[in-house]
Chains A and B, each alone.
Chain A
Amino acid sequence: MITVYVPRDTTACALGADAVAEAIKAEAAKRNLALNLVRNGSRGLFWLETLVEVATDKGRVAYGPVNAADVSALFDAGFLEGKDGHLALGLTEEIPYLKNQQRINFARAGIIDPLSVDDYTAHGGYAGLTRALAMQPQAIVDEVKESGLRGRGGAAFPAGIKWQTVHDTPPQQKYIVCNADEGDSGTFADRLLMEADPLQLIEGMTIAGLAVGATQGYIYLRSEYPKAHAVLQAALANAYAAGYLGDNIAGSGKHFDLEVRLGAGAYICGEETSLLDSLEGKRGMVRAKPPLPAIVGLFGQPTVINNVLTLASVSSIFEKGAAHYKSLGVGRSTGTLPMQLAGNIKRGGIVELAFGSTLRSLLEDFGDGTLSGKAIKAVQVGGPLGAYLPESALDISLDYESFAAASAMLGHGGVVVFDDSADMLEQARFAMEFCVVESCGKCTPCRVGSTRGVEVIDKIRAGEQRDDNLILLEDLCETMEFGSLCAMGGLTPFPVRSAIKHFPEDFGG
């Protein structure tokens, strides 16, 4: 029987994938054709969604972007035999946007049925866990250290060192917590991974449990992701049913339980200590460090807390070995980073590359310029706390060190493009406004400074004592940067200052 794939991913569905799937079923019934319709995750080529694929002898053939209204024409053109014609894109794997990537985290995305443990294992899944089960906990931690894996949630802290700390605490109830709060605008890699290949995350967390001696894990998922929630719940149930979770993992006698918990619409709960408070059922207030969560974490117990991509990467590190992982990337930025092309971009989606390519290549070779066709004015990398870069800075190398050197942040890899109609004063104002809305309220520089920041920017816009108010704004930025407990207040000055520095004309200069 012919197999047809229609993504079930949030963006694909937001562009009509459910209607396309229904139309394909209806059209097949009308024509008396039997077909096997699989709802895969997405390949992450969102500019081509709904991307319909058909399995043929030569490989999968892609059609897109497909609307429900195109479906009958697709049948007429012989798409079930993979024929050329209406919306045909040829072999999926040959689409340059996909072919030119170096996919590790997203190698299976869109290929497998995200809920199927069999599909997952047939594509290399659980090979890493099998290897880890035969290793001593310290050897597992060593392998993660050896890989050079750094946290993908923003701060890029070496994962192995964090794991070592938890490993070294005396045996007691320990926890693995996955930070799936993905609050940064312009980021969707965590979401896509959870919707397209959730078992990769589940496997990575299980390995983390073995490494540090934790028997319970929680995935803290933002409530804005209902589809990811449904996929994760179903994938967890299937992993339990297949014996990959519970008190006898893959027949090893080892124990690991895993549960999903929902956030409730607070950006600050992506900050790890605030997240832990939230998981404990409290308001998400940031905790002072030390103590580190690795020592006093969830419910006061030693806790590994890592981002979705960090934990997911662990499964491929164990599948292919630390040396393979480390062979990708540059310097201390090892492996791959899934960049997310968003905002005013013609070809938005996931572009997973080894560290070290350039932002310009990403925007031009993959993104193909702005959606509006106008010139790029500014690019914000690394989420709402990341700096705005002007066109002239786009040759920057995509690695942690280069971004730090440019007072910018690679963070979670979100890239938001603005065309020349953007008003950078508005963007600076929004950075402050966002901080007002999302501050946990614990420290005055963050809570009050951001409110004052909005007011001062409004005055600058109104032309009131511009020079004095710009000085005042810089003072506020300094107070926030140095007087805030966490990066919410501490980094909000970065988008603000970069907007003023690179686009003075938007501030009446």
Chain B
Amino acid sequence: MSPASDNPAIDTIIDRLKDLPGALLPILHEIQHTVGYVPAESVPSIATALSLSRAEVHGVISFYHHFHSEPMGQHTVQICRAEACQAVGARELEQHATRKLSTELGCTTADGTVSLEPVYCLGNCACGPSVQIGDEVHARVTPERFDTLISGLEKKQ
């Protein structure tokens, strides 16, 4: 038995996936998908279930840009920083976005609405600049369009 993590949803995920070969990434994905991030309190249970040290589990979480060990904003907005988007104004868009949201890449707005994250390519390189909000990619995102997308999120509050 794994030690309980105080979160039954997390324990269920670990129990369900722990016997997969190479189970750690699938477990982390599922936890982040369900909880929104990978809470520190889940690390000991994962470690026990997979016979790893806590340091090893922590090392994996911190290695991958996708996994977060802190709660995220209500919406995750990823701005593509890679070359094909740079060629059509991604640098300007990034500056605009950080000004507009008064936050840095990799941070969450003061009101907790938006986490602004860098991403290196979304496979939409023919129609950049690209922005992903949740699971939705947006193409040809000008600063104006960025503002429209953000005000759409704020309305969803």
User: Considering only CB atoms, which chain B residue lies closest to A383 in the complex?
Assistant: B83
> Is A450 part of the binding interface, using a Cβ–Cβ cutoff of 8 Å?
no
Query: Cβ of B50: which chain A residues have Cβ within 8 Å of it?
Result: 281
Stretch in B6-14, B95-103, B123-131 with 4+ CB within 8 Å of A: B123-131
Would you call B126 and A348 a contact (CB within 8 A)?
yes
- Inter-chain CA distance A281–B50, complex, in Å, is 10
Q: Which of A14, A281, A418 contacts B60 (CB 8 A)?
A: A281
Chain A nearest CB, measured from B149 CB (Å): 12
Contacts of B82 in A (CB 8 A): 185-186, 384, 434
In the complex, chain A residues 274-293 whose Cβ is within 8 Å of any chain B Cβ: 278-284
Smallest Cβ-Cβ distance to B88: which chain A residue: A344
Q: Does A371 contact B (CB under 8 A)?
A: yes
Q: Considering the complex, which residues of chain B in the window 110-126 have a beta carbon less than 8 Å from any beta carbon of chain A?
A: 119-126
Q: Specify the main secondary structure of chain B where it touches its partner.
A: loop
Indicate if the CB atoms of A343 and B88 lie closer than 8 Å.
Answer: yes
Interface set, chain A 342-375, CB cutoff 8 A to B:
342-345, 348-349, 371
How large, as a class, is the contact surface on chain A? 35 or more
Interface size for chain B: under 10, 10 to 19, 20 to 34, or 35 or more residues? Answer: 35 or more
Contact between chains at A438 and B120 (CB < 8 Å):
yes
B26 and A261: CB pair below 8 A?
Answer: yes
Chain B residues 19-51 with CB under 8 Å of chain A are 21-26, 28-29, 50
A186 touches B22 (CB 8 A): no
How many angstroms between the C-alpha atoms of A414 and B82 in the bound complex?
13
Is B65 at the interface (CB under 8 A from chain A)?
yes
A416 at the interface (CB under 8 A from B): yes
Count, A-B residue pairs, CB within 8 A: 156
Give residues of chain A (383-398) contacting chain B, Cβ–Cβ below 8 Å: 384
Question: In the complex, which residues of chain B have a beta carbon less than 8 angstroms from the beta carbon of A417?
Answer: 87
Q: Is the CB of A185 within 8 A of B84?
A: yes
Min CB distance, A45 to chain B, in Å? 9
B66 cross-chain contacts in A, Cβ below 8 A: 223, 263-266
Measuring CB to CB, which residues of chain B are less than 8 angstroms from any residue of chain A?
Answer: 21-26, 28-29, 50, 59-60, 63-67, 82-88, 91, 119-128, 130, 132, 135-140
Given A11-B127, A186-B125, A340-B125, 14 extra CB contacts under 8 A: A10-B124, A14-B127, A15-B127, A184-B121, A224-B119, A224-B122, A280-B22, A281-B60, A342-B87, A343-B85, A343-B86, A343-B125, A343-B128, A384-B83
A interface, CB within 8 angstroms of B: 10-11, 13-15, 46-47, 49, 182-188, 191, 223-228, 261-267, 278-284, 299, 340-345, 348-349, 371, 380, 384, 414, 416-419, 422, 426-427, 430, 434, 437-438
16 contacting pairs across A/B (C-beta < 8 A): A10-B123, A14-B127, A184-B121, A185-B83, A223-B66, A224-B132, A264-B25, A264-B65, A281-B23, A283-B59, A343-B85, A349-B126, A416-B83, A418-B87, A422-B87, A437-B120
